[in-house]
Structure 1
Amino acid sequence: MSYKTVMVHMDTSARANARLSLALRLARTFDAHLDGLFAMFEPRPREFYVMAGTADYYDTHRKLRMEQRGAIERLFRAELARAQVDGAWIAPEGDPVATVMQRSRTADLVILGQTDQDDPESYIAEQFPETVLLGAGGPVLLMPYAGNFESVGKHVLIAWNGSREAARAVHDAIPFIVRAARVTIAAASTTFTPAESQAACADLAAMLARHGATTVDITRFERDAAESTGDALLSYAADGGYDLLVMGAYGHARLQELVLGGVTRSILASMTVPVLMSH
């Protein structure tokens, strides 16, 4: 099992280059094809043209966006050639959320960036990464907007609660897990008794060992009463030197509103290490 088609979201944000660097390294690691999918926020022209004096502004804005897209495309193609990775540049028209989500369903791994509130260029749409994550149908690797990550997947922390979403994430992360130097399973559910926790984690460790994972540890994961599970996981990952957190994503759409689980929402807002999530 491996990732043979990797897709990275490209835009004009400050972290786009870092995402591309990570995507290229992973494409080389897995001998995968790399798609660079360009999608960015685009104001609706009708909202400009109905306001007097704004048509020229919209046209100028559109030309600037086209120039920016061209620069990002040239960067992508140059880096692709330099890394000797097979790939393609994709810049579809239409709603950016719909296009990214649809394209993600024909990729083995999708790489997105965390929304950076201090970088307007990282804004694509309301709850963009969350919406894509819940609709992708496969694993999404989310990269924090802060920090340098030269290695991803050497030290893997699995947040395990026995749920369908967690199981999906673990199976989707197997290409990382079997190559990792260290894998740790942390029981991240308050519904587990100590005996149930140990048994559930042991069964998961045995399954991963059959896939070829060489070093799989089981840890007792605890958190303070005042600390959320998401914050506790991130602290544990940082303290333990992990460079990839694997976990299920929880949420659903309700009356056109995206409702995320508490841990998922916390991780997406505060991630300090790359996170592989599946829904």
Structure 2
Amino acid sequence: MSTLRSILVHLDGTDRAEVRLRLAHRLAALHESALTALFAVSPSVLAVLPMIGGLPPMPMAGDIDPDHRAHAAAVFERLLQDHASRSDWRELRGEPVVESFVQHALTSDLMVLGQRDPRDKAGFDVPADFVEAVVLASGKPALVVPFAGRVSPNPAKVLVAWRGARESARALETALPLLRSAQEVHLVAAMSAADPAHGTTMSRLRDYLRLHGVRQTREHKAPAEDRHAGEALLSLAQETGAGLIVMGAYGHSPARELVLGGATRTVLEWAAVPVWMAH
């Protein structure tokens, strides 16, 4: 039985929101999941006059962009007619975007999110760190959809980036429904092939996947330098023809400032295929 019983997809005013929702519908149909679309953007910020005493202007929350909401609602209604899977519409009305989205995510099995497109102004009312913030805060897996290119709910080839840590284990476990349907699963571990523990690690990883019905695995060497791990991972995904990358999301949030691992940030910014992440 699939563990993807409930899917939460983020909607905003961008054109790419339709791709996310369409993908979420297809996943919901494949895994018999309940689907919720959550329109979540920040209100516009209005500057007011300085207060007496020469203090700087105090920003005030404005309104949600009505055109962005109308666009998202139209996409939701149109795809509702095209797909048989059940879906619900929800929206935030000025609540803190990250915190409120996380509360919805806590009772979902998967979040479908969108990679930030720096050229699409329609997405500027979504916090720049939205994806990483909700992934780190919720602890729930996320399927991050790139801002360009085609996506599939059952990619034939998947690249798994393994690191002996909780985050990797969480990502791997939650991605099993997609790994089982893949024709090839490519494995790369964040350790040198010369490391005496490399063989044991890969053997354990293959055994774990085999127990869960994943048998077509291939191994690859890790990048020579850890500081280029993100770039090397993206290059390997392209070389193998992977339609999905599975990896842990590494980072923390001290004093409300997100600190991400280098590979995590690189992949989030530059991946050209969907990325399955978990923290």
Once the two structures are superposed, the pairs formed by residues 60-209 of structure 1 within 5 Å of their partners are 62=63, 65-93=65-93, 94-123=95-124, 124-150=126-152, 152-190=154-192, 193-209=194-210
Check the 8 A contact 1:152/1:244 in 2, yes or no: no
Check the 8 A contact 2:227/2:262 in 1, yes or no: no
The Cα offsets for residues 188-218 of structure 1, whole Å up to 9 and x where unpaired, read as 235x74431121111111111111113122x
Q: Which residue of 1 aligns with 2:11?
A: 10
Q: Which residue of 2 aligns with 1:250?
A: 250
Cα 1:226–1:105 change in 2 (3 A) is closer
The Cα offsets for residues 215-234 of structure 1, whole Å up to 9 and x where unpaired, read as 122x1324355971011001
Q: Which residue of 2 aligns with 1:55?
A: none
Cα 1:111–1:211 change in 2 (3 A) is same
SS in 1 for 2:27: helix
Check the 8 A contact 1:160/1:201 in 2, yes or no: no
Task: Give the superposition deviation at 1:23.
Answer: 1.0
* Alpha-carbon distance in 1 for matches of 2:136, 2:63: 30
Task: Give the superposition deviation at 1:265.
Answer: 1.0
* Alpha-carbon distance in 1 for matches of 2:163, 2:106: 26
- Unaligned runs of 5+ residues in structure 1 are 52-57
TM-score (normalised: structure 1): 0.88
What's the RMSD between the two structures over aligned residues?
2.2
- Unaligned runs of 5+ residues in structure 2 are 51-59
* Alpha-carbon distance in 2 for matches of 1:132, 1:87: 21
Task: Give the superposition deviation at 1:184.
Answer: 1.6
The Cα offsets for residues 228-253 of structure 1, whole Å up to 9 and x where unpaired, read as 10110010001111011000111011
* Alpha-carbon distance in 2 for matches of 1:181, 1:19: 23
Q: Which residue of 2 aligns with 1:265?
A: 265
- Structure 2 counterpart of 1:188, which letter? A
- Structure 2 counterpart of 1:40, which letter? V
SS in 1 for 2:148: coil
* Alpha-carbon distance in 1 for matches of 2:121, 2:16: 12
- Structure 2 counterpart of 1:86, which letter? R
Check the 8 A contact 2:154/2:181 in 1, yes or no: no
Identity of aligned residues (%): 33
How many equivalent pairs are there?
267
Task: Give the superposition deviation at 1:182.
Answer: 1.3
The Cα offsets for residues 28-77 of structure 1, whole Å up to 9 and x where unpaired, read as 11111111010113124xx34548xxxxxx99x848x2343134223213
Check the 8 A contact 2:116/2:128 in 1, yes or no: no
Check the 8 A contact 1:234/1:273 in 2, yes or no: no
